[in-house]
C-alpha cells in the first residue's frame, strides 16, 4: 500500500516519457502519484488526473484563450496561474503530500509560482534544466523549494537525465515521509538575526521566550532568510515578531543581490502583528564576496566576512537614506510597534573600540530615524549596545507588558 502521494506536474505533450519515468520511480518506492498536465498545444499519450483544461479553467481562463493569445509567455502565465490555484486547493483538501515539477525555462517559470502557492513545510521539488541559474531571481523562490539540475534532459530520456529524475523522485517521496510539519500548538515568535559574530541577543531571548510558553524561530537575515520571515509574517503565522536585524532593507535599496525584497519590514505590520523592531546592522550593505566590488563602493570601508559574503560600510548620507526607508516601511503597519534604539551600536563590529565603530554615523542615523518616524511608533532608547544584556532585558520588558495587556497571547 502507498503511504504518501506525490503530485507530478509538467507539460505532458512534450515530456510524457520523462514524467512517466519520474512517476514510475515514485511508485516503485511505494508512493502514490497524482498527475497534472500544464501543456497548451498538445495532449499526453494517456489522460492525466488533472488535464490542461482543468488547469486553465481553475485560473479563470481556457486553453482556447491561451492558444488565441498567440504568445507562449502569455499562454504559460495562464497555465501558471491555474496550476498554482489548483495545486493549493488540492493540497488543502488532502489530495497529495509532496510535489515535483519538471521543466525547462517555461516549466520552471510555472513551477516557481506553484511552489509559492504552497505553505512552508510541504515538500516541493523542481527538476529543471536551469536549476541554480542566475535566471531565477531570489524573490521567485518559496522558502523551502528544493531544486535539482535536470542534466542532459532537454530532449528525451537517457542514462544521464535518468540519474537526475530518479534522485528527484526518491527525494520528494522521502521528504513527504520524513517531514515534520510545523507545530501550531504553541504561539510562534519570528526573530531575525545574523550569525553570532555580529548579533547575539537571540542567545538570551530564545530560552526566555520559550520559558514563557512561546516557540521561537530565528531567521538568518541574508536575503532568503528574510524572505522566509516575511512570507510567514504575511500568512499571519507569528504571534509577535522580534525583528532586530533589518539590514536586508539596505541591501535592497542599494541593489544588492542579497535582498529580501521590497516588502522587507512590512508584512507583519500589514497583518497587525505586534512588532518589536531594532535596526540591527543597519550600517552594512552585503554583497557577494566572490564577485568584484562594484565601483560605487570602491572608497567605502569593507568587512570580509568569508569567501561568500563581504559587507560594505555606508557613509553618513547613505545611513540617512536607510533611516528614511525604515520609517516608510513602518508607516504601513496596522499593529503596535516598539522601536528599540541602542545608543552604543547596532552590530558587534560597530561597538565602541571595534574596527567599524562610527559614533558620528550612528548619531546621524538615529537622529534621522527619530525625525522621520510615523506617529504611533513607540521609541525605546537603550543605554547600551544591541548585544548587551540590557537590550534583551528591555525587549522582554516590553513584550511582557504586551502580554499583560492582551496584545500578545501565549
Number of neighbouring beta carbons within 10 Å of residue 215: 16
User: Which stretches does DSSP call E strand in 124-278?
Assistant: 124-128, 145-149, 188-193, 215-220, 240-243, 275-277
* 172 closest CA partner among 79, 112, 90, 102: 102
Task: Measure the CA–CA gap between 146 and 141, rounded to whole angstroms.
Answer: 9
- The reply to whether 337 and 257 lie within a common domain is yes
Number of neighbouring beta carbons within 10 Å of residue 402: 17
- Length of the chain equals 410
Q: Which domain holds residue 109?
A: 5-178
pTM: 0.86
User: Which stretches does DSSP call E strand in 42-169?
Assistant: 98-103, 124-128, 145-149
In a domain, 389, yes or no: yes
In a domain, 357, yes or no: yes
Give the pLDDT band (50/70/90) at residue 1.
very low
- The reply to whether 330 and 265 lie within a common domain is yes
Task: Measure the CA–CA gap between 339 and 330, rounded to whole angstroms.
Answer: 10
33: pLDDT strictly greater than 70: yes
- The reply to whether 54 and 196 lie within a common domain is no
Give the H or E element holding residue 380. Answer: strand 377-382
- Per the CB < 8 A criterion, the answer to whether 136 and 130 are in contact is yes
* 96 closest CA partner among 140, 49, 128: 49
Give the pLDDT band (50/70/90) at residue 236.
very high
**Residues facing 299 on adjacent strands:** none
- The reply to whether 148 and 224 lie within a common domain is no
Task: Measure the CA–CA gap between 152 and 155, rounded to whole angstroms.
Answer: 8
Average pLDDT score over the chain: 94
Please state the φ and ψ torsions of residue 217, each to the nearest 5 degrees.
-115, 120
Task: Measure the CA–CA gap between 180 and 161, rounded to whole angstroms.
Answer: 30
Q: Grid cell 520588558 — which residue? A: 397
- The reply to whether 376 and 237 lie within a common domain is yes
61: pLDDT strictly greater than 70: yes
* 408 closest CA partner among 219, 280, 310, 272: 272
Domain of 65: which CATH number?
3.40.50.12020
> What's the pLDDT tens digit per position in 139-189?
788 888 999 999 888 788 999 999 999 999 999 999 999 998 777 789 999
**Residues facing 379 on adjacent strands:** 339
- The reply to whether 261 and 307 lie within a common domain is yes
- The reply to whether 91 and 136 lie within a common domain is yes
- The reply to whether 161 and 288 lie within a common domain is no
Number of neighbouring beta carbons within 10 Å of residue 297: 16
In a domain, 410, yes or no: no
* Total domains, the chain: 2
| Percentage of the chain modeled with pLDDT above 90 | 86
SS3 state of residue 213: coil
Amino acid at each position: 500500500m502507498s503511504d504518501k502521494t506525490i503530485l507530478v506536474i509538467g507539460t505532458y505533450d512534450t515530456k510524457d516519457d520523462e514524467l512517466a519515468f519520474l512517476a514510475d520511480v515514485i511508485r516503485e518506492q511505494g508512493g502514490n502519484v497524482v498527475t497534472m498536465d500544464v501543456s497548451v498545444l498538445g495532449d499526453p499519450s494517456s489522460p492525466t488526473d488533472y488535464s490542461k483544461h482543468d488547469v486553465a479553467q481553475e485560473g479563470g481562463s481556457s486553453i482556447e484563450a491561451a492558444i488565441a493569445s498567440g504568445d507562449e509567455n502569455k499562454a504559460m502565465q495562464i497555465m501558471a496561474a491555474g496550476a498554482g490555484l489548483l495545486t493549493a486547493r488540492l493540497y488543502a483538501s488532502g489530495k497529495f503530500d509532496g510535489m515535483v515539477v519538471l521543466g525547462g525555462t517555461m516549466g520552471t517559470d510555472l513551477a516557481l509560482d506553484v511552489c509559492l502557492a504552497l505553505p512552508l513545510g510541504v515538500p516541493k521539488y523542481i527538476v529543471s534544466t536551469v536549476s541554480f541559474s542566475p535566471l531565477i531571481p531570489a524573490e521567485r523562490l518559496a522558502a523551502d523549494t528544493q531544486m535539482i539540475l535536470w542534466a542532459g534532459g532537454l530532449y528525451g530520456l537517457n542514462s544521464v537525465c535518468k540519474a537526475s529524475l530518479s534522485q528527484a523522485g526518491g527525494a520528494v517521496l522521502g521528504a513527504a515521509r520524513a517531514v515534520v510539519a510545523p507545530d501550531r500548538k504553541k504561539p510562534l515568535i519570528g526573530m531575525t538575526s545574523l550569525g553570532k559574530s555580529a548579533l547575539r541577543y537571540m542567545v538570551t531571548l530564545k530560552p526566555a521566550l520559550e520559558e514563557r510558553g512561546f516557540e521561537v524561530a530565528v531567521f538568518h537575515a541574508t536575503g532568503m532568510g528574510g524572505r522566509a520571515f516575511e512570507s510567514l509574517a504575511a500568512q499571519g503565522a507569528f504571534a509577535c515578531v522580534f525583528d532586530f536585524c533589518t539590514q536586508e532593507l539596505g541591501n535592497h535599496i542599494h541593489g544588492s543581490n542579497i535582498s529580501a525584497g521590497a516588502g522587507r519590514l512590512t508584512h507583519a505590520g500589514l497583518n497587525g502583528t505586534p512588532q518589536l523592531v531594532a535596526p540591527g546592522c543597519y550600517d552594512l550593505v552585503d554583497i557577494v564576496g566572490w564577485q568584484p566590488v562594484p565601483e560605487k563602493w570602491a572608497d567605502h570601508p569593507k568587512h570580509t566576512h568569508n569567501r561568500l559574503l563581504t559587507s560594505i560600510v555606508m557613509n553618513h548620507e547613505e545611513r540617512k537614506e536607510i533611516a528614511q526607508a525604515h520609517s516608510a516601511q513602518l508607516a504601513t503597519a496596522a499593529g503596535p510597534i516598539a522601536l528599540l534604539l541602542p545608543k552604543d551600536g547596532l552590530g558587534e563590529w560597530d561597538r565602541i573600540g571595534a574596527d567599524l565603530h562610527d559614533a558620528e554615523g550612528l548619531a546621524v542615523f538615529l537622529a534621522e530615524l527619530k525625525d522621520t518616524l510615523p506617529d504611533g511608533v513607540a521609541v525605546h532608547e537603550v543605554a547600551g549596545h544591541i548585544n548587551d544584556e540590557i537590550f534583551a532585558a528591555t525587549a522582554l520588558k516590553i513584550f511582557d507588558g504586551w502580554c499583560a495587556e492582551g496584545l500578545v497571547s501565549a
